[in-house]
Amino acid sequence: MKLFNTATKKLETFKPQNPNKVTFYSCGPTVYSTPHIGNYAAYVYWDLLERTMMANGLKPYRIINLTDVGHLTSDGDDGEDKLEKGAKREGKTVWEIADHYIDVFKTGFEKLNLLEPVKWARATDYIKESEALVEKLIKNDFTYETSDGVYFDTSKFPEYKDFARLDLDHQKAGARVAFSSEKRNASDFAVWKFIKPGELHAMRWDFLGRPGYPGWHLECSTIIHEELGEPIDLHAGGIDHIPVHHTNEIAQSFGAFHEKLANFWLHCNFLTINGEKISKSLGNIVTLEDLEQKGFSASDFKLWLYQGHYRSERNFTWEDLAAAKNRRLKWQNAYVARFQQTSKENRSLRGQMLSSDGEKFATFKQQIISAVNDDLNSAAAFALIDENLNNLQLLDWSVVEALFALNISNIDKDAEYEKLDNRLQPLIKKRNEARENKDYETADKIRDELKAQNLTLLDTEEGTLWQFTD
């Protein structure tokens, strides 16, 4: 399995420390508003990453954090706290906002059929541990205090610029006006923020003799230390995390534990909509609910994403989503055709083969896994599926489902198709008899009934098959 490692800027063979517990951390959402499709893209890509690991016999052990405190509207340690902003907007408490949007986020995760992490780690559940990390940084002399918080002194970590290839001299000159005069270096960042008297900030903890709250980057270093231990095998996030958030995580973890944070770093690119950044101010936000309202499923969106590559910027258009939906429908119909052509006995055999994992269905399986092993080249895997579309057996489809979880060919779907098949077979028989008797009225009536249910019949040499239409 080869992956592009941001830390070395090279395609490298992925070798975890322990194949039975591959420590994997991906930065989670800030839970203060409804996520848009761009927010979910990273999790769709990392789901494929996790499933590819599993196809290679590795056992991923993944943690996702939920940022419910400390993420300010700007990356530069100023601006409003995002949770406070959400609470103000909706007239709720910050805790209610966090609970609500955690639920919303998880619902989307389920809709997309993504693997749950071993643990959803909520930042506010790690406050004591976060404080201990700050104390370590203070003790190891990596910090200084200003009137508004405890800052990490990036000049004390000479490798600070390495990860993102930062030009710190340039940053210093350019940002002289922009950063608080109390900061020693433009790149310094808050590990802990103080709450000034009179300042409204509902989430607060007494630490270092006054009320405050953790800096945003801190939770990732804390949770990784507590749940996984440095260095982890793989850390993933968006490319926007490289210059600030991940660079700061690396600095903190080194400052506190003198350890490298992660061996592999993966970063996915942005999603744009009609060529523009997704933002509230542009009014172009699209949510999973919007997709559903326009007749698309979460699987259509996933399939569209997997047609491209996680390191490329992806431009979302409704036309392209419609094309992806057509491809999904074509695959689903190829699957249901094979399903109908497979005897009941062999269908149930598929379940047994899968649960015992004993069957090797050689060539196709190997080819498709090789494709995703090449830095998650799902587009190449999709080309293979198209190429072999009419020859794929049920077991071949289970490889497709195991990697992409598109919800068109799993065991649950088999039960659904079985039911449908049981209902349709008598109708198909009745229609064929009517046609033989030249009773076209009855035959047409059956066709129209099925059409109303988005189903159609296809007469082939081997008999009549039912298919989905949209």
Q: Which two tokens stand for residue 12?
A: 């490298």
> Smallest gap, in angstroms, from Cβ of residue 133 to Zn ion?
14
Q: Which two tokens stand for residue 3?
A: 């992956």
Helix (H) or strand (E) holding 456: strand 455-460
Which residue, 27 or 191, has its beta carbon nearer to Zn ion? 27
> Smallest gap, in angstroms, from Cβ of residue 27 to Zn ion?
3
Task: List, in order, residues 6 or more apart from 400 with CB less than 8 Å away.
Answer: 331, 368, 385, 392, 406, 409
Task: List, in order, residues 6 or more apart from 296 with CB less than 8 Å away.
Answer: 321, 322, 325
- Residue 457's SS3 state is strand
> Smallest gap, in angstroms, from Cβ of residue 202 to Zn ion?
23
Say whether residue 220 binds Zn ion (CB under 5 A): yes
Binding mask 170-209 for Zn ion (x = CB under 5 A): ----------------------------------------
Say whether residue 42 binds Zn ion (CB under 5 A): no
**Which of these ranges, 171-179, 220-228, 335-343, 360-368, lies near Zn ion under the rule CB under 5 A?**
220-228
Q: How many residues belong to the site for Zn ion (CB under 5 A)?
A: 2
Helix (H) or strand (E) holding 248: helix 247-257
Which residue, 27 or 465, has its beta carbon nearer to Zn ion? 27
**Which of these ranges, 81-89, 160-168, 217-225, 450-458, lies near Zn ion under the rule CB under 5 A?**
217-225
Residue whose structure tokens are 């761009």: 38
> Smallest gap, in angstroms, from Cβ of residue 447 to Zn ion?
55
State the amino acid at position 233 in one-letter form.
Answer: D
**Which of these ranges, 67-75, 212-220, 343-351, 426-434, lies near Zn ion under the rule CB under 5 A?**
212-220
> Smallest gap, in angstroms, from Cβ of residue 81 to Zn ion?
17
**Which of these ranges, 67-75, 197-205, 219-227, 333-341, lies near Zn ion under the rule CB under 5 A?**
219-227
Which residue, 240 or 374, has its beta carbon nearer to Zn ion? 240
Say whether residue 63 binds Zn ion (CB under 5 A): no
CA atoms within 13 A on the CB side of 83: 28
Q: Residue 48: which of 365, 411, 335, 305 has the closest Cα?
A: 305
Neighbouring CB atoms inside 10 A of 225's CB total 23
**Which of these ranges, 22-30, 110-118, 154-162, 362-370, lies near Zn ion under the rule CB under 5 A?**
22-30
> Smallest gap, in angstroms, from Cβ of residue 406 to Zn ion?
28
Tell me the H-state helices in 288-391: 288-293, 298-306, 318-341, 344-356, 362-373, 378-387
CA atoms within 13 A on the CB side of 107: 13
Which residue, 124 or 340, has its beta carbon nearer to Zn ion? 124
Q: In whole angstroms, give the CA distance from residue 117 to residue 187.
A: 32
> Smallest gap, in angstroms, from Cβ of residue 245 to Zn ion?
5
Cis preceding linkage at 231, omega within 30? yes
**Which of these ranges, 12-20, 214-222, 316-324, 370-378, lies near Zn ion under the rule CB under 5 A?**
214-222
Q: Strands 119-122 and 60-66, how do they pair? A: parallel
> Smallest gap, in angstroms, from Cβ of residue 383 to Zn ion?
34
Say whether residue 27 binds Zn ion (CB under 5 A): yes
Residues in contact with Zn ion by CB under 5 A are 27, 220
